[in-house]
Amino acid sequence: MSLHLDRMEWMPSPPLAPDDGPIDFAHLRRMTLGDAALEREVLGMFSAQAPRLAKALAGSPADAAALAHTLKGSARAVGAFAVGDAAAHLEALIRNGSDRADALSELDDAIIQARSAIEAMLDQR
């Protein structure tokens, strides 16, 4: 019996995790146990920390891989998964000794988007 898969019309699969923007607020709520004040606090801290780390990373310090790792963890903790992914990519390039100019630009863009979403969220509350 032949399945003739080449004649089937395939539907794209939905993403494994919903893409609701630069911050996954449902993830953040879970991580903060639904404490709105804590959400605001950690978002404010992340919003201040992320650009400082990105600026430091642009200077290629000796501890660049550790800084990228720190940013990756804090981004993922607050639900800024695009920032976390960009930081992970940068971390891998640093550890491999590869060119990181494009990765730094990608990281900067992700941080700008995340900070914009955070600012909008903080202004609403």
- The CA-CA-CA angle for residues 27, 28, 34, to 5°, reads 105
Q: Which has the minimum average pLDDT: 8-17, 54-63, 88-97?
A: 8-17
Average pLDDT of the chain, as a whole number: 89
pLDDT band at 123 (very low <50, low <70, confident <90, very high): confident
Q: Residue range 4-29: average pLDDT?
A: 68
Looking at residue 125, its pLDDT comes to: 61
Q: What is the pTM of this model?
A: 0.82
- The CA-CA-CA angle for residues 107, 20, 14, to 5°, reads 105
